[in-house]
Amino acid sequence: MYKIVNKSVERIDVYEKVTGKAKYGADLNCGSQLYAKTVYSRYPHAKILKIDTKEAEGLEGVIMVITAKDVPGNNIMFGKFPVLAQNEVKYIGDGVAVVAAESKEIAEKAAKLVRVEYEELPGVFDLEEAKVENSKRVHSEIENNFIEHSHHLLRSGDVEKGFKEAEVILERTYRTQFVDQAYIEPEAVIVLPDPYKIGVEIHGSIQNPYTIRENVATVLGLKINQVRVIQSTIGGSFGGKDESVMLMAARCAVIALKTGRPVKMVLTREESFLESSKRHPFQANYKIGAKKDGSIVAVENKVYVQGGAYNNKASFANWRASIHAAGPYTIPHIKTDIYGLYTHTIYGGAYRGFSAPQMVFATESLIDELAEELKMSPQEIRLKNCLKPGDEMGTGQILLPGKIPAPLEKMIREICRKTDFESKRKKYIQEREGFNPLKKGIGLSCTFRGAGLGGEGIDTASATVTIDIDGSILIQSGLVEMGQGMRTAHAQIVAEVLGVSLDRITFGNTDTAVTMDSGATVASRGILAGGNAMLIAATELLQRLHQQASIMLNCNIENLISENEFIFNKSKPDKKLTFEEVVKECLKGQGLSLSAQGWYNPGPEKLSPETGRGKAYPTYSYGTAVAELRVDVQTGKINVEKITAAYEIGKAINPQIAKSQFYGGILQGVGYAIMEEMRTKDGYLKTKNFDDFLIPSSADMPEMEVTIYESDDPVGPFGAKSVGELGIELIAPALANALYNATGKRIRELPLNLERVLLGKTLKK
């Protein structure tokens, strides 16, 4: 059995974090640094007539004010985000100028002295307006408001035929809201002019160093290798520290090169809310057909995704959505279309789960509605239709043990048994009519989630592992640690392969000058892709060590075993070499390299452009949850009492960290379900800080019980696959279903706030 993997060892970065020694982006300072502050747009959509920076420049301590015309290279970055808006502002978070000053206070003062003249223009503020043909356009260079490359489809079977066979057909629309990731640390960046060559070095709370490096290089008109990005310790990101940090890095880099001085920018919470990405709002229109016995024959959907003014994520998020839009069910006929749309509003990006929480809210509410229509229990209908071994998925992939597992049936049965789901559900229906306004409800949901990027992009990752003369081991991943525990899992993988203790291992923060471009740290790929890269690097080093040990022990290399800090011949286990001994001989005796780069490349996934079918993901993770709540039917107040959840993740590299990820995801899911909402009105952001953007407090935390299922899934290192995002997506539908169980009222729009629960409709402020 494993010595280190699959054990709940202590995190390798925990000491620095809990003792306050780890430096976060805002903690970093350089001598002679400038403080930069962005001047934001005053209108959601307007023409910029004139920017007068004279007064700001005249303030003592102000070194420079830049506008779009000061950008030396390309002002437009990936997703059409301008470093600074040039002729037109397209949303309320657009930057029009940046001031750089000797102090933060002066920068703040100067930002208010930049005079901008606007001509206000009408805008497109929601999905309904954006969809209309010949409506106003957000980007004049395209024909309508549909985001380029954001239409993704799946065609399986023949839905027309399917609906003809159906004995029951339901049509429903579900809607979700903008929400912020609400990480504890607002974005921070410090950019240093490279002291040795033309270029910049960027430090900060950066989730995706490589995309930022590439974008800043084009902004500066430099080669990629003239920009170096080093991540600081990150205080939470959940997908969010990407576009906003890219904008900050680009703005600061322009000033750093112009002034030759380091430039620091730290966002306030208000600025972070204004400028950072949000979870995309969805409008999901569904049609589902089933036989009277509950078997689903067809699903057709058209899903519209609000992208905001600029967007570089809808094309990816929508592809993921297209694969998952019919749920974890075996359905012969599927027709899915997902579209992204531009609006003059805050924009959608990545947030834990990406497009899954929206899709799973829709599909898992829908399946409960179908069960109700057919007078079946939510458990029964899921058991009947869920993906089972031997089944063909909508993508055409076949589920087989040892290949792609299909554990849902067992998981659903067990969670329902454990929570006493059926008898509680019946009891609560009877209690609906009772006198007590506090009603109880129980709800079920289940999901499947493609592991890693799959067909969304090439899922390559790198790892560098170096053993030094004292036997210490430095690991550095091209993927970032942002609190999820990835680097501990990586260290466990390396220690397991090399047969050494974890004490030997330390980590380097991701540095684009050290590790190969590993893409973005997204899609729960930290272990699947990043861990595989570590496994490859460590295996390569083990080979080199064993090569040397086989000479030292005079035995065949195949007979060698590394375990508990020793390397020995398994048929002569008495004579053991210490790990250090072999390392020393390799480095000093023979002059061998003990640094290896692991490169994981699963190869491109090929999908049919006409049908969207093919090997979408190498494998899938699964989950199921039961939510129990109490709702006051006279006020609409929901108290979430308990969430019981189960997740199949192949193998848990660190069961405790995996569970912590699920607890965190569940609680974020509760917030998403019942209280969180970034409100916009006519393009203005109404939710400015945490007094209005409510996230759950400890007093709102339900009891949580999480079970991890393991399987023989072969794809990831030691059979591990995805963990990080799976926790969040089951919660909103489980709660909406529980609310229905308690009240008999179906709410199809998130969040399930006081007004919606009481009145069954949305009140607009």
Partner 1 sequence: MQDFNFIKPTNLEEVSSLLINYKDKARLIAGGTDLIIALREERLPSNLEIIIDISHLKELDYIREEGGYLRIGSGATHVEIAQNELIKRYAPLLSQAASLIGSPQIRNRGSIAGNIVTASPAADAVPALIVLDSRLVIRKGQEKREELLQKVFVGPYKVNLKSDELVEEIYFKKLPQKAKSDFSKLVRRNAVDKSRVNLAVVAQQNEDKKVIDIKISAGSITPLPQRFKEAEDLLLGEIPTANLIQKTGEKVAEEMMVKSGYRWSTEYKEPVVKSLMVRALNRVLEVE
Residues 504-543 touching partner 1, rule: CB under 8 A, are none
Does 702 bind partner 1 (CB under 8 A)? Our answer is no
Q: Are the C-beta atoms of 136 and 123 separated by less than 8 Å?
A: yes
User: In this chain, which stretch among 49-57, 273-281, 420-428, 693-701 interacts with partner 1, using CB under 8 A?
Assistant: 693-701
Residues 719-738 touching partner 1, rule: CB under 8 A, are none
Nearer to partner 1, 137 or 745 (CB): 745
Does 59 bind partner 1 (CB under 8 A)? Our answer is no
Here the tokens at position 330 are: 């075996």
Nearer to partner 1, 105 or 117 (CB): 105
Does 680 bind partner 1 (CB under 8 A)? Our answer is no
User: In this chain, which stretch among 7-15, 33-41, 497-505, 750-758 interacts with partner 1, using CB under 8 A?
Assistant: 750-758
CB atoms within 10 A of CB 223: 11
Name the helix (H) or strand (E) containing 735.
helix 731-743
Interaction pattern, residues 308-337, with partner 1; x per rule: CB under 8 A: ------------------------------
Does 758 bind partner 1 (CB under 8 A)? Our answer is yes
Q: Are the C-beta atoms of 42 and 116 separated by less than 8 Å?
A: yes
Shortest distance, CB of residue 108 to partner 1, whole angstroms? 8
Query: Which residue type is seen at 119?
Result: E
Does 670 bind partner 1 (CB under 8 A)? Our answer is no
687-693 long-range contacts (CB < 8 A, ≥24 apart) are 687/273, 688/270, 688/273, 688/274, 689/269, 689/270, 689/273, 690/182, 690/269, 693/180, 693/182, 693/273
Nearer to partner 1, 571 or 634 (CB): 634
Does 375 bind partner 1 (CB under 8 A)? Our answer is no
Q: Are the C-beta atoms of 282 and 304 separated by less than 8 Å?
A: yes
Q: Are the C-beta atoms of 494 and 442 separated by less than 8 Å?
A: no
Nearer to partner 1, 606 or 764 (CB): 764
Nearer to partner 1, 595 or 639 (CB): 639
Which of 22, 514, 592, 694 is the binder for partner 1 (CB under 8 A)? 694
Nearer to partner 1, 570 or 761 (CB): 761
Which of 101, 229, 675, 747 is the binder for partner 1 (CB under 8 A)? 675
Does 435 bind partner 1 (CB under 8 A)? Our answer is no
Name the helix (H) or strand (E) containing 165.
helix 159-165
Q: How many residues bind partner 1 (CB under 8 A)?
A: 23
Shortest distance, CB of residue 20 to partner 1, whole angstroms? 20
Does 21 bind partner 1 (CB under 8 A)? Our answer is no
Shortest distance, CB of residue 98 to partner 1, whole angstroms? 20
Q: Find tokens 């502002």 and name the residue.
A: 89
Shortest distance, CB of residue 124 to partner 1, whole angstroms? 24
Does 746 bind partner 1 (CB under 8 A)? Our answer is no
Shortest distance, CB of residue 274 to partner 1, whole angstroms? 15
Identify the DSSP state of 700.
G
Identify the DSSP state of 238.
T
Question: What is the C-alpha separation between 245 and 351, in angstroms, rounded?
Answer: 15
Looking at the DSSP bridge assignments, the partners of residue 420 are: none
Does 556 bind partner 1 (CB under 8 A)? Our answer is no
Interaction pattern, residues 630-669, with partner 1; x per rule: CB under 8 A: ----xxxx-x------------------------------
Q: Find tokens 């990407």 and name the residue.
A: 242
Question: What is the C-alpha separation between 527 and 534, in angstroms, rounded?
Answer: 9
Does 697 bind partner 1 (CB under 8 A)? Our answer is yes
Q: Find tokens 């023979």 and name the residue.
A: 590
Question: What is the C-alpha separation between 51 and 638, in angstroms, rounded?
Answer: 49
Nearer to partner 1, 140 or 697 (CB): 697
Which of 531, 696, 717, 727 is the binder for partner 1 (CB under 8 A)? 696
Looking at the DSSP bridge assignments, the partners of residue 449 are: 621
Does 755 bind partner 1 (CB under 8 A)? Our answer is yes
Here the tokens at position 336 are: 């899915």
User: In this chain, which stretch among 82-90, 459-467, 509-517, 691-699 interacts with partner 1, using CB under 8 A?
Assistant: 691-699
Nearer to partner 1, 587 or 754 (CB): 754
Question: What is the C-alpha separation between 503 and 3, in angstroms, rounded?
Answer: 14
Shortest distance, CB of residue 440 to partner 1, whole angstroms? 18
Reference 748, options 175, 48, 245; nearest CA is: 175
Interaction pattern, residues 22-41, with partner 1; x per rule: CB under 8 A: --------------------
Q: Are the C-beta atoms of 219 and 250 separated by less than 8 Å?
A: yes
Does 469 bind partner 1 (CB under 8 A)? Our answer is no
Nearer to partner 1, 109 or 615 (CB): 109
> Could you tell me where the beta strands, DSSP code E, fall in 183-223?
188-193, 200-204
Residue 68 phi, psi dihedral angles, 5° rounding: -55, -35
User: In this chain, which stretch among 478-486, 614-622, 653-661, 695-703 interacts with partner 1, using CB under 8 A?
Assistant: 695-703
**Helix 421-431 crosses helix 731-743 at what angle (to 10 degrees)?**
40
Which of 437, 589, 603, 604 is the binder for partner 1 (CB under 8 A)? 437
Question: What is the C-alpha separation between 707 and 415, in angstroms, rounded?
Answer: 9
Nearer to partner 1, 137 or 637 (CB): 637
Nearer to partner 1, 196 or 435 (CB): 435
User: In this chain, which stretch among 86-94, 338-346, 393-401, 755-763 interacts with partner 1, using CB under 8 A?
Assistant: 755-763
Q: Are the C-beta atoms of 743 and 759 separated by less than 8 Å?
A: no
User: In this chain, which stretch among 484-492, 599-607, 727-735, 752-760 interacts with partner 1, using CB under 8 A?
Assistant: 752-760
Q: DSSP string covering 52-89, please?
A: E-HHHHHSTTEEEEE-GGG-SS-SB-GGG-BSS--SEE
Residues 585-614 touching partner 1, rule: CB under 8 A, are none
Interaction pattern, residues 203-242, with partner 1; x per rule: CB under 8 A: ----------------------------------------
User: In this chain, which stretch among 56-64, 467-475, 533-541, 694-702 interacts with partner 1, using CB under 8 A?
Assistant: 694-702
Does 87 bind partner 1 (CB under 8 A)? Our answer is no
Nearer to partner 1, 404 or 752 (CB): 752
Length of the chain: 765
Looking at the DSSP bridge assignments, the partners of residue 639 are: 630
Is the peptide bond between 44 and the residue preceding it cis, with omega within 30 degrees of 0? no
Question: What is the C-alpha separation between 489 and 13, in angstroms, rounded?
Answer: 11
Task: Output helix, strand, coil percentages for the chain, rounded to the nearest 5.
Answer: 30, 25, 40
Does 69 bind partner 1 (CB under 8 A)? Our answer is no
Three-state SS sequence of 258-311: HHCCCEEEECCHHHHHHHCCEECCEEEEEEEEECCCCCEEEEEEEEEEEEECCC
Which of 67, 100, 105, 606 is the binder for partner 1 (CB under 8 A)? 105
Q: Find tokens 């040892």 and name the residue.
A: 402
Does 703 bind partner 1 (CB under 8 A)? Our answer is no
Here the tokens at position 137 are: 């356009």
Shortest distance, CB of residue 177 to partner 1, whole angstroms? 14
Does 753 bind partner 1 (CB under 8 A)? Our answer is yes
Does 430 bind partner 1 (CB under 8 A)? Our answer is no
- For residues 118-152, one letter each, b for 16 or more C-beta atoms within 10 angstroms of the residue's C-beta and e for the rest, the string is beeeebbbbbebbbeeeeeebeeeeebbbbeebbb
User: In this chain, which stretch among 130-138, 245-253, 525-533, 747-755 interacts with partner 1, using CB under 8 A?
Assistant: 747-755
Here the tokens at position 185 are: 């640390």
Q: Find tokens 């699959």 and name the residue.
A: 6
Here the tokens at position 67 are: 């506008």
Where do contacts with partner 1 occur on this chain (CB under 8 A)? Answer: 105, 437, 634-637, 639, 675, 691, 694, 696-700, 753-755, 758-759, 763-765
